[in-house]
């Protein structure tokens, strides 16, 4: 390693278990960082039982650091004091990157914190008991960070206002779309049969949760019996209703195929920080229906069917409009070109610029 290489320590905990948005962000970012010259990337996992698994899920060139330690205990300690600094069990580094809302305490290293959204500040009662301290951890981490990263300008503006930090301290580092999405084809007959997919379907892809608007979606879907059935793809427990089904957590390749075969993708969230499924659907030319909230409006750039949150009649209408959308080559080209402008290389380069600004 050249002496000028920037030593970066990532929180790799989101890489463990089923990966939804933040896990995929951390995985893709770490892969790109590993391919960049001048950056020596390491990762640490804050978990008592699964920390050894980190070695097996990191990309080539990224080294695992650390020891078994319970995240819950660490968070409580970091709320009370500056001890223990992450360098104590992960080694010396130039910059520590909290990839998942929480910035570890450091001894000498600069701190960079990614805040994906602030949904939990609006509805702290929806947090599980294990995350009860998250709002205060995020607030303190934001104050302490040398640089904050957000996926959209919409989130950056909210962070500056809600957490009372200087907007100039925040860098926007948009997420990327994997190349495989642009070549995705609808599911084969074998995959369709294995998953029990109907011939035509509307799709929600992601993890369920109170802010995802799924009850609203079910109500709007039920209002028009001529709409295709609704399919949920993701981990966890989804609400059940007529003409709906849950295909579970899918591999990246299977997910790409299932999205590519959808009549439309719908993301009815009350709040989002980025909304990666919107761009992934656009990459394989699938119409998108999503909520008219700042981040989704920013990311979709006028190429999605937008609807006000909670408007049942409006959502039903936009689902119908998406399903009946004329097959225009110009629309497909515009969607694909827009999605292609979001790359993980660009995300990594913007993040490295944030690291260097933090160290400087």
| 38 and 112, same domain (yes or no) | yes
Per-residue pLDDT tens, the chain, 360 aa: give them. 445 799 999 999 999 877 778 999 999 999 999 999 999 999 998 887 777 888 888 988 899 887 778 788 888 888 888 888 888 888 999 999 999 999 999 999 999 999 999 988 888 888 888 788 889 999 999 999 999 999 999 999 999 999 999 999 999 999 999 999 999 999 999 999 999 999 999 999 999 988 999 999 999 999 999 999 999 999 999 999 999 999 999 999 999 999 999 999 999 999 999 999 999 999 999 999 999 999 999 999 999 999 999 999 999 999 999 999 887 788 999 999 999 999 999 999 999 999 999 998
226 with 263, same domain: the answer is yes
Q: How many residues does the chain have?
A: 360
DSSP strands (E only) in 192-304? 202-205, 230-233, 244-248, 264-267, 288-291
- The alpha carbon of 297 is separated from its chain's Cα centroid by a whole number of angstroms, namely 16
Whether residues 150 and 270 fall in one domain = no
Q: How far apart are CA 304 and CA 296, in angstroms?
A: 9
Is 101 in the same domain as 196? no
List all residues 6 or more positions away from 183 whose beta carbon is below 8 Å from its beta carbon.
Answer: none
- Examine residue 83 and state whether it is found in any structural domain, yes or no: yes
Domain that holds residue 238: 179-340
Say if residue 133 is in the same domain as residue 237: no
**232 and 151 part of one domain:** no
> Which among 29, 28, 34 is positioned nearest to 60, based on CA atoms?
34
All residues at 6 or more sequence positions from 298 whose CB lies less than 8 Å from its CB, including other chains: 152, 153, 154
How many CB atoms neighbour CB 92 within 10 A? Answer: 10
Domain count, the chain: 2
CB within 8 A of 64, min separation 6: which ones? 12, 42, 43, 44, 45, 54, 55, 58
Instruction: Look at residue 328 in the predicted model and tell me its pLDDT.
Output: 77
Same domain, residue pair 54 and 153:
yes
Residues 56 and 188 in one domain: no
- pLDDT score of 130: 76
Give the number of other Cβ atoms within 10 Å of residue 309's Cβ. 16
- Dihedrals φ, ψ of 41, to 5°? -100, 130
CA atoms within 13 A on the CB side of 220: 26
Beta bridge partners of 231: 203, 245
Asked whether residue 191 falls in the same domain as residue 307, the answer is yes
Domain membership flag for residue 1: no
Tell me, yes or no, whether 243 lies in a domain: yes
Helix (H, G, I), strand (E, B) or coil at 169: helix
CATH number of the domain residue 30 falls in: 3.40.50.2000
265 and 288 together in one domain:
yes
3-state secondary structure at position 329: helix
Residues 257 and 128 in one domain: no
Q: Which residues are registered as beta bridge partners of 203?
A: 231, 265
Tell me whether residue 88 is in a domain: yes
Q: CB-side exposure of 33: number of CA atoms within 13 Å?
A: 29
Residues 169 and 190 in one domain: no
Which pLDDT belongs to residue 2?
44
The answer to whether the beta carbons of residues 289 and 193 sit under 8 Å apart is: no
Please give the model's pTM, rounded to 2 decimal places.
0.92
């Amino acid at each position: 390693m050249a002496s000028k290489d920037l030593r970066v320590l990532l929180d790799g905990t989101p890489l463990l278990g089923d990966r939804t948005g933040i896990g995929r962000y951390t995985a893709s970012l770490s892969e790109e960082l590993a391919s960049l010259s001048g950056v020596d990337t390491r990762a640490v996992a804050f978990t008592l039982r699964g920390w050894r698994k980190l070695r097996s899920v990191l990309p080539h060139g990224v080294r695992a650091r650390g020891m078994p330690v319970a995240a819950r205990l660490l968070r409580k300690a970091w709320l009370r004091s500056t001890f223990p600094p992450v360098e104590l069990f992960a080694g010396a580094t130039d910059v520590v990157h909290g990839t998942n809302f929480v910035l570890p305490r450091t001894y000498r290293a600069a701190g960079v914190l990614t805040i994906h959204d602030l949904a939990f500040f609006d509805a702290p009662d929806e947090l599980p008991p294990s995350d009860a301290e998250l709002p205060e951890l995020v607030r303190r981490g934001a104050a302490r960070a040398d640089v904050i990263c957000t996926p959209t300008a919409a989130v950056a503006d909210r962070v500056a206002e809600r957490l009372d930090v200087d907007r100039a301290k925040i860098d926007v580092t948009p997420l990327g779309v994997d190349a495989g999405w642009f070549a995705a084809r609808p599911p084969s007959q074998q995959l369709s049969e294995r998953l029990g997919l109907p011939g035509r379907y509307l799709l929600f892809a992601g993890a369920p949760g109170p802010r995802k608007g799924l009850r609203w979606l079910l109500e709007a879907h039920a209002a028009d019996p001529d709409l295709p059935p609704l399919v949920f793809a993701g981990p966890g427990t989804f609400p059940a209703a007529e003409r709906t089904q849950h295909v579970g957590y899918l591999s990246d390749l299977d997910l790409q195929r299932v999205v590519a075969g959808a009549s439309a993708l719908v993301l009815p969230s009350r709040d989002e920080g980025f909304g990666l499924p919107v761009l992934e659907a656009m990459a394989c030319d699938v119409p998108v229906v999503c909520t008219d909230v700042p981040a989704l409006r920013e990311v979709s750039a006028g190429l999605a069917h937008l609807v006000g949150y909670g408007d049942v009649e409006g959502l039903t209408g936009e689902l119908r409009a998406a399903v009946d959308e004329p097959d225009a080559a110009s629309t497909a080209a515009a969607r694909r070109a827009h999605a292609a402008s979001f790359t993980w290389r660009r995300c990594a380069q913007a993040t490295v610029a944030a690291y260097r600004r933090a160290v400087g």
